[in-house]
Structure formats: C-alpha cells, structure tokens
A and B are shown apart, each in its own frame.
Chain A
Amino acid sequence: MRPAGVLRLALLALTAAFLLFPALFAPMLRPLAPPNMPVIYDRASLSSLALSHLALVAAAIIPSALLASALAILVTRPAGAEFLPLSRALVGFGQTFPPVAVLALAVPVVGFGTWPTLIALFLYGLLPIFENALAGLTGVSGAVRLAADGMGMTPGQKLRRVELPLALPLMIEGVRISAVIAVSTAAIGSTVAARSLGEVIIAGLNANNLSFVVQGGLLTAALALIVYEALGMVAEAARNRLGLPAEPASRPAG
C-alpha cells in the first residue's frame, strides 16, 4: 500500500478508536483536565455527537449541492445565460456573510437548535460548488460541444451524456471543499444549541477543562480530514471512470 493509504487508514482507525473507546485515551489527556474533573466529555457519547455533526453537514451540503448545481446548469444554457451575474451575486452573498452572523440573524427567526446552523452551512456551501460546477460545465471544449450538436443530440441529451459526465469530477471537488468547510463550521453551531462536537469544546471552555477543548477540537479536525480524503477518493473514482488522464486537484474556489 502507498504511504498515503497507510496514513488514511491510521487516521480512520485512530478516530474510530477515540470515538468508541475514549477511556483508552484518558491517561494521555489527564494532565489537561483540572483535578477532580472528568477527562472525557460525559454529557453525551462522543460517537453520537460525531454522527450528528456529520448528519448536520450532510443535511446542509446535499441541498446546497443540488441548488448550486442546478444554478450552474441553468446559467450555462443559452436561455439562462443572462442569470449568470444574478446567480454569482446570490451565491457570493452566501459566502461573504460570515456563518456566525448568519447564526445570529437566524436565531430570532427560526429559534435555537439545528436550523440556524443548517441555514448557515447551506449558504456557505453554495459558492464553491457553484463555481466548480460552472468551471466544469464551461470547461467542455467547443469542439466537443459542436460535435454533440452536430451528431443530433438534443440539448437534454448533450447535458446528460456529455456535459455532466465531463463536469462531474470538478463538481465533486466543489462539494469536497464545501463539506470540509462545513465540518469545521458546524462546530460553531453548538453555540446556538445544534448537536455537534462543538458542544464538547464549548463545555470545555465554560468549565476551564482543556481536555474537553482538545478532544472536541481534534475530533472535529479528524472528521474534516476524513471527509476531505473520502470525497477526494470519490472525485478520483469519477475521473477514472471517465478514463480521463489524472488531473491535479481542483482549482481553488471559496
């Protein structure tokens, strides 16, 4: 196995071990906790928090990906080209507004809990996915487009058979960027009572328990890395399935 594969596996194993058997790591974290305070977060299991953390990310990024991709498809059709500036402004707005501000604004409207975080992650995720999908769709060469038309594909056939498959790897790269940002950002959601690993960090800050802060922070970082690696593999698989020569990772967006 390649070194990268070994590292990935080690990361995964270590994270799983920490989530399932946190007591094993207690001796290492002991010095960070104040005397007579729990070393491992005990108000909820770390594994259930990690799961709801990931669920929060998925519940925000999937609709984000659907909307952003739909917008990218729309503005690359001849009839939708005029909506490009508007769409750009829309998703750009979602990106420039800091998630913390979105949380603050959303709470009075939808209350505490999951919703404010979902909204923040959803909005924040739009831009990278939109820009990557746009790059993928407009990156299909003029000759290939002309050939698709010339062979007698209808616009729908051209989209499904040619443009989307060719744009797919870049679209997945966009989702990858958004998902990784969302994993980190979801932790902040716990300030407005969303269930995520952020809860552990906040509890640690409140109780002056550095052990909680470190375990919450490390686990969030590990989740972000795992999501990054996993979606990287999906993008790679999509490229391989197309039989395209390997490409260096996505153009930066977001």
Chain B
Amino acid sequence: MIEFQSVSKLYDGLAAVDDVSLTLERGTLTAVVGTSGSGKSTLLRMVNRLVEPTSGRVLIDGADTASVPPAQLRRRIGYVIQDTGLFPHWSAARNIATVPELLGWPKAQIRARVRELMEVLQLDPDAIGPRRPHELSGGQAQRVGVARALAARPALLLMDEPFGALDPVIRGQAQADLRRVQRQLGTTVILVTHDMAEAIRLGDRIAVMREGRIEQFAAPAEIIAAPATPFVADLLGEGDRAFRLMSLRPAREIAEPGAAEGPMLPAGSSLAEALAEMIWTGRDRLPIAGPDGRAVGVVRRDAVIRAGRPEAGPE
C-alpha cells in the first residue's frame, strides 16, 4: 500500500505538487493522468526519492520512505521512463541484470532471471540478449526497459509515460502486456500518462492531476460517468464519453436468456464491441459466447444503449 500524506514539492516557491493525499491499494494499477507540467513525474519520483518532498510524507506499507537510504529504496522499486534510459554501452541482457547485480545476486541466478524475464516479455534471449540498445526497435527497447525494472521482483513498479514513444499498434500490444504481467505478478503499479484513453484502459483507479493537485481520484467508470470538475470532463473529451464507458463494460453483464441468428460475439467483448458488431452486420440481437465458447444468451441493442448511459454505469 502506498500512502501520500499531504505531499508537496516546491520549486523556487512554486508548487509542482501541491498538498496531495492519496492511498493506493496493494496489487492495483493506478493511472496518474494530466496535462504536461501538472506535476505527475514529480509526484512519481517522490515515491523512490528521486525527488524529496518539501513537506508531507510518502509511506510504503506503513514505512516512511524518508527513513530508507535512497539507493536501497530504489533497488526495491521498479522504475520505467519514457526514453527507456537504457545504458547504451551495455547489452540488453546486462541492462536487465542491472538491479540484481547491484544487489549482489549470484551470477547463475542473474542469468536465469534475465532469461525468464525476456521470455515473459516475448524477447528472444539468444537473439535480443546480446544486442546493444541502439540495435533494438522502439518496442523491444521499451520491453527491455520494463524487464530491467522488474528484474529484482519489486512489489512496486513506477512507470513514467512508458509507452509515449511507441507507435499506436505497438503501444496497444505493450499496454496489453503490461496488464497481463501486472495481473500475473500482483505488482502494484503507478503509471503516469497524459493519455486519458490509456488511463481508462489500464487503470484500476485514475488520479487526475492539474497544477500539482488531484482533481479526482476514482475508478475509470466513475470518472467517465461523473467527472468531478470541468477539467476532468475536458480531458475525457465530451463526445466520446458514451463509447469510453461502453468500452469498459463487458457485454456479458447485460446478456439475457435466449438465442439469436448469426456469428457469435466472443466472450470478453465489451458493450462498445457489441454495438459496433450490430452496426456493421445490421443485426439488433447478437448471440454471446461464454468462457467455454458456447452461446450463453443474447445481447439486445436497446439494452446496450441503455447501459451506455452514465446513470446505468456499474457500481
């Protein structure tokens, strides 16, 4: 559990982070979203003491971070940055081994861990491992950066615009990978982004920042359904709200008993995907599959549209 207690950071008397109090549950992914200069990176860096708060405290599992020597603290916390910051004179494998090396792990154990991580992140250890960063594609370099952050099995992972430099196709893949790895390992993640769509897609909760303050801290569905301030609504982009909300809810939630004609909707489809399929194939009832791939009911168009209204939002 991460607690920010009235944390502020002043630069030349101006607050980059202004009296932020937040509690992030263990094992969750919190997306911190806001425009550029709103203090996201500063907030993130106060967790691993790359930035020292001017006032307030940051606690990890109840312990004040200020009481742990910075180098020791940082080796326990994964850190991923936008330009990857890979060490250009080291191979991908050596980059991944950075923190285990600092911690003095035995060589064989480091080698095994590097292989394991490369496989988890779909990087071929024999082909990619010996390469230098300048010989990697953007997507590969990004994954090496994530592998390096995860190498010493941190319980907490800080990510500062980790997908900012990727093209849209690779970014989608990288986001899906992050979600998978995060669920699999139960890692607590704080992800900084300026992209609300990314925050909605990945966050268990979203903290919206503006001028160093938290405007709203809530689950994605709640942010979409009830933006706390005009700024939050602006970030969401008014026009897309219904679709954003529908893309969050599984279509299975509104399935009814019955049967319908035509190809089946896959089990994990969202309301948005159900509606798109209806528009594309000109149907107003779709059969929907269960986890085993067999039809379990039907989804009706008017139910989909009703579920897309904010007052019908989940929770």
**Residue positions of A touching B, CB distance < 8 A:** 141, 143-154, 157, 161-162, 165-166, 242-245
Residue-wise, chain B 89-131 has the 8 Å CB interface mask toward A (1 for contact) of 1010000001100100000000000000000000000000000
Chain B residue numbers with a CB within 8 Å of A154 are 71
Residue in B84, B85, B91, B99 whose beta carbon sits within 8 Å of that of A152 in the complex: B99
User: CA of A151 to CA of B88 in the docked complex: distance in angstroms?
Assistant: 15
| Apart from A147-B81, A149-B50, A152-B74: 10 A-B pairs, beta carbons within 8 A | A143-B81, A146-B81, A147-B79, A147-B87, A149-B74, A151-B99, A152-B70, A165-B89, A166-B88, A243-B132
Answer whether residue B222 sits at the interface, using C-beta atoms and an 8 A cutoff: no
Residue in B48, B74, B83, B102 whose beta carbon sits within 8 Å of that of A143 in the complex: B83
Answer whether residue B196 sits at the interface, using C-beta atoms and an 8 A cutoff: no
Chain A residue numbers with a CB within 8 Å of B79 are 147, 150-151
Answer whether residue B200 sits at the interface, using C-beta atoms and an 8 A cutoff: no
User: CA of A244 to CA of B48 in the docked complex: distance in angstroms?
Assistant: 30
User: CA of A151 to CA of B85 in the docked complex: distance in angstroms?
Assistant: 11
Answer whether residue B281 sits at the interface, using C-beta atoms and an 8 A cutoff: no
Chain B residue numbers with a CB within 8 Å of A161 are 87
29 residue pairs A–B, Cβ–Cβ below 8 Å: A141-B85, A143-B83, A144-B85, A144-B87, A144-B88, A146-B81, A146-B85, A147-B79, A147-B84, A147-B86, A149-B50, A150-B48, A150-B50, A150-B79, A150-B85, A151-B74, A151-B148, A152-B70, A152-B75, A152-B76, A152-B102, A157-B102, A162-B87, A162-B89, A166-B89, A242-B88, A242-B89, A244-B89, A245-B134
Chain B residue numbers with a CB within 8 Å of A157 are 102
Q: Is the CB of B134 within 8 A of A150?
A: no
CB distance from A155 to the nearest CB of B (A): 9
Answer whether residue B54 sits at the interface, using C-beta atoms and an 8 A cutoff: no
Residue in A147, A244, A245 whose beta carbon sits within 8 Å of that of B85 in the complex: A147
